[in-house]
């Protein structure tokens, strides 16, 4: 796909906004293909962090001085930006967390207090550990049962099997919007509707889905949606738990302390209103401001053009993969985003990653925090190239030129 096909997405100009993309690794231009692990940051996001610390570094809320007022305005303004981006019904539905993992644990901790023996929680075989282990532990503490919806060998969810697991005992269903290991895009609205028919709550792990745009939590129909800032061009250590206001207003608090209280005596405490009742302590103020700036920047892009570009990268990579003998793709679902997981005959994923790195090509190797999934697929792990909006078709060529060299080195 050339630039004339997508006049609304100038990749060259876009890349120039990311300082790290101009660096070299071992004398080679950096080809960064580890975006499912973390995305790079545009200069405007970096500037927003520096500007906060340089001009109005202060704690938020209750401050009786100018710096505190400015910090609070930026911090709460970022909440408004995120709420608009995901089409939350109210800004109070956006809870700042440290990331997807904390967001899911916040829900799982509360659910564990409600579950009892005989209740069931349903997840899928494609889960990241962060959307598996919290439910395991919640079920262990409560005596509830964890059920696993199977996938097909291509990495897509078995919808009929998923349906068969839902019943009147199902209390919550959790699944990824997009699989971090396979790139599979799940039919979130359809899965949510099925779970709702059974009377279950629904949590969507949106860590990999949010950076592909057009996340509308009201249209999806779920009860909770969790994501991390660093997956969408923002800082690390900041994330979001979106939840329906009526649920969050009554959800058991997890961490207690300052900020999340309305009144405290030596004997008891009364929790604050949303969103603060679920945000204990001094927050990651700069992180929230940076995430707000990242979302603002990303929202200005043409999402149709973004999706078309990412699909062009994936299509070319998939076609080139077929030209390398002994390379097997892991995850070939019909609906997927720019994640290319693979194994290669004669080469351990770790060796492939090391040899590509010496050529300036950054990928991820291992089980990608999805060890049960790797066991299900019969592989110890994979090499994973994951694409983002700033990657180019030329970089896809460089990846496969690098893989051919790796194959010769390992022969």
Residue 41 lies in a domain: no
- What does pTM read for this prediction? 0.96
Question: Read out DSSP for 105-165?
Answer: HHHHHHHHTT--TT-EEEEETT--GGGTHHHHHHHHHHT-EEEEE-B-TTS-B-HHHHHHH
Strand partners, 241: 95, 226
Going by C-alpha positions, the residue among 365, 370, 356, 352 that lies closest to residue 398 is 356
Residue 352 lies in a domain: yes
Kindly report the backbone phi and psi dihedral angles of residue 224, in degrees, each rounded to the nearest multiple of 5, phi listed first: -140, 145
Residue 44: active-site member:
no
306 and 387 share a domain? yes
Residue 147 lies in a domain: yes
142 and 12 share a domain? no
Cα distance between residue 103 and residue 48, in whole Å = 24
170 and 186 share a domain? yes
Report whether 40 contacts 31 (CB < 8 A).
no
E-assigned strand segments in 151-220: 170-176, 201-205
15 and 118 share a domain? no
Q: Of these residues, 44, 56, 139, 369, which one is catalytic?
A: 369
115 and 9 share a domain? no
pLDDT tens for the chain, 411 residues: list them.
333 333 478 999 999 999 999 999 999 999 999 999 999 999 999 999 999 999 999 999 988 899 999 999 999 999 999 999 999 999 999 999 999 999 999 999 999 999 999 999 999 999 999 999 999 999 999 999 999 999 999 999 999 999 999 999 999 999 999 999 999 999 999 999 999 999 999 999 999 999 987 899 999 999 999 999 999 999 999 999 999 999 999 999 999 999 999 999 999 999 999 999 999 999 999 999 999 999 999 999 999 999 999 999 999 999 999 999 999 999 999 999 999 999 999 899 999 999 999 999 999 999 999 999 999 999 999 999 999 999 999 999 999 999 999 999 987
23 and 149 share a domain? no
Q: What is the DSSP letter of 282?
A: S
Q: Which of 238, 268, 299 is the last residue of a domain?
A: 299
Find the domain containing 16 and state its range: 3-32+302-410
Beta strand 339-344 pairing with 382-386: antiparallel
Neighbours of 199 (CB within 10 A): 12
53 and 198 share a domain? yes
Kindly report the backbone phi and psi dihedral angles of residue 342, in degrees, each rounded to the nearest multiple of 5, phi listed first: -155, 160
345 and 248 share a domain? no
Q: How many domains does the chain fold into?
A: 2
198 and 186 share a domain? yes
Q: What is the DSSP letter of 272?
A: P
240 and 334 share a domain? no
396 and 265 share a domain? no
155 and 200 share a domain? yes
């Amino acid at each position: 796909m050339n630039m004339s096909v997508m006049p609304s997405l100038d990749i060259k100009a876009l890349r120039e906004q990311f300082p790290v993309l101009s660096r070299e690794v071992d004398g080679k231009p950096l080809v960064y293909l580890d975006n499912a692990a973390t995305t790079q940051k545009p200069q405007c996001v970096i500037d927003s962090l520096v500007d906060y610390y340089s001009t109005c570094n202060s704690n938020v809320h209750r401050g009786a001085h100018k710096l505190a007022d400015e910090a609070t305005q930026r911090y709460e303004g970022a909440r408004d930006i995120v709420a608009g981006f995901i089409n939350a019904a109210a800004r109070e539905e956006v809870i700042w967390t440290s990331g997807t993992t904390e967001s899911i644990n916040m829900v799982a901790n509360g659910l564990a207090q409600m579950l009892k023996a005989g209740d069931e929680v349903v997840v899928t075989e494609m889960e990241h550990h962060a959307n598996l282990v919290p439910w395991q532990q919640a079920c262990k503490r409560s005596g509830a049962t964890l059920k696993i919806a199977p996938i097909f060998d291509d990495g897509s969810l078995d919808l009929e099997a998923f349906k068969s697991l839902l019943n009147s005992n199902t209390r919550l269903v959790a699944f990824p919007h997009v699989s971090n290991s396979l790139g599979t895009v799940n039919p979130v609205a359809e899965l949510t509707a099925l779970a709702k028919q059974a009377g279950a709550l629904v949590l969507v792990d949106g860590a990999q889905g949010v950076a592909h745009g057009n996340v509308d939590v009201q249209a999806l129909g779920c009860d909770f949606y969790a994501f991390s800032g660093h997956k969408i061009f923002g800082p690390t250590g900041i994330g979001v738990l979106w939840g329906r206001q009526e649920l969050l207003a009554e959800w058991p608090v997890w961490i207690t302390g300052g900020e999340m209280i309305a009144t405290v005596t030596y004997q008891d405490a009364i929790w604050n209103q949303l969103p603060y009742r679920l945000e204990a302590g001094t927050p990651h103020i700069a992180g929230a401001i940076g995430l707000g700036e990242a979302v603002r920047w990303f929202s200005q892009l043409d999402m149709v053009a973004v999706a078309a570009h990412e699909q062009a990268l994936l299509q070319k990579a998939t076609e080139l993969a077929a030209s390398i003998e002994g390379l097997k793709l892991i995850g070939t679902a019909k609906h997927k985003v720019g994640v290319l997981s693979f194994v290669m005959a004669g080469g351990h994923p770790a060796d492939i990653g090391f040899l590509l790195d010496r050529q300036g090509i950054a990928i991820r190797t291992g089980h990608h925090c999805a060890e049960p999934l790797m066991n299900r697929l019969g592989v110890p792990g994979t090499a994973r190239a994951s694409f983002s909006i700033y990657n180019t078709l030329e970089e896809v060529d460089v990846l496969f030129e690098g893989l051919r060299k790796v194959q010769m080195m390992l022969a």
